[in-house]
Amino acid sequence: MSQPIRPIFVASAAVSAAVVGYAFFGLPGAFTPLAAYGLHKIIQDCITPQKESKEEAPAPLDSRVSSFPPSSSSSSSSSSSSSSSSYTPVAPELSFSETKARNIAIFRANVAIMLAGGYASEFGGLSVEAPKEKDTLLIDPNVQKGNGKDYARIRGKILTPKDTKIEVINEDCLDVTLDLKAKGFNPILLNMANQTHRGGGYEDGARAQEEDICRRTTLYAALGTVTQPNRAFQDRSVMQFRYGTEYNIPEFGCIASRNVQVLRDNKYNLLGKREKDFIDVLSSAAYDLNPRHEHTRGGSLNPRGSDWADKNSSQYKFNVKQKIRNILKTAILSGHDAIVLSAFGCGAFNNDPKVVARLFNEVLNETTDISGLDRKTYKDAIKAVFAIIGDHNDTKGNFKNFQREFK
């Protein structure tokens, strides 16, 4: 029988030690011996549930990893039979509480890794680059007016996609993004974001798409570099949330983040040196229609579920299509020829997947107003891939509804 995971104390000690090292030395790469030991303990001992003594303990989730920078003997101490291609993680079945505790441990380990400036593994040390403020931009909600000043800030060379077939595939969105990149596309990944809480429930071990992307990349740190422009929206757009911090994705706006580093694979194993990669991410917030979330909302930017009781209402459809247009337009104008989408708002936010799939299809077939595209439709201007996991957790039929819409 599995015992509860116990990551919190050790993880907190590691992060605290890393913060102390940062404060004393003033550099992200300054890593105290205590912090290195704490990080090692997080990875080796805390992420995987502890078994009773009668049972053989499973291999730790990050058993390949040690402290960073690597010691001179770290590479020679690895097993000669190990390789990045042959490594198969042992992933025990976890209960809900164990999964949550593991996710919190990963969050804390990622914080320590960011402060350390990297980590080491038997496959080579991997440096982790702190996100630059210039690489993450908040896009104004008034972007629907022509190409707009905010679009000018992100404008890249508009690319012509070599393949414009719309796909709906039962795969992980981050893996699909990396696969498109390997095939020669310049993709951007849609992060279905929480509007007022950076990373959603990432710190608390939640399991939605945004939290998963944050666990596997440096997106959470990148979103932390966002600041509202001086013309900050006085009319309801900037809302206070935890600890009085201002963070808000405008109703029809988004956050565009370049050079987000990938840290972990889809089993949360830290990557080796040869696997170092970066992606671009576009964060946009769907309407939260879950009545259980009403106490977290504010104003009309994130309406109460009762406001959209009729998810087929003309106003609801109009607004969602405005969001979709902005997502596609931002992706195209920032120099991407492919975008990885998903069932936008159809999980915990309780939007209807059948309706949302239809709205995506309608917008993709619209003619863009982007100068230089010669009246192309959105689907001809950028390749759209819907990556939706259709497993036992897909209780609302997200995958089947999108697959049916785009068959």
How do residues 230-258 score in pLDDT, each as one tens digit? 333 333 333 333 334 467 888 888 999 99
* Residue range(s) in the chain whose domain bears CATH number 3.40.220.10: 133-405
Rounded to 10°, the helix 209-216/96-116 angle is 40
Q: Is the pLDDT of residue 176 over 90?
A: yes
Arithmetic mean of pLDDT, 278-301: 77
Instruction: Give me the pLDDT at residue 55, please.
Output: 39
Q: Is the pLDDT of residue 269 over 90?
A: yes
φ and ψ of 259, to 5 deg: 55, 50
Q: Is the pLDDT of residue 164 over 60?
A: yes
Instruction: Give me the pLDDT at residue 313, please.
Output: 86
Query: Are 165 and 383 in contact, with CB atoms under 8 Å apart?
Result: yes
Q: Is the pLDDT of residue 319 over 90?
A: yes
Q: What is the CATH number of domain 133-405?
A: 3.40.220.10
- Most confident stretch, 152-161, 296-305, 321-330: 321-330
Instruction: Give me the pLDDT at residue 247, please.
Output: 77
Q: What is the pLDDT of residues 363-380, one digit of tens each?
A: 999 999 888 888 899 999
**Encoding tokens for residue 81?**
């039979």
Q: Residue 314: is it exposed, middle or buried by C-beta count within 10 angstroms (0-12/13-18/19+)? A: exposed
- pTM, two decimal places: 0.75
Residue 227 vs residue 175, higher pLDDT: 175
Q: Name the DSSP class of 397.
A: -
Q: Is the pLDDT of residue 219 over 90?
A: yes
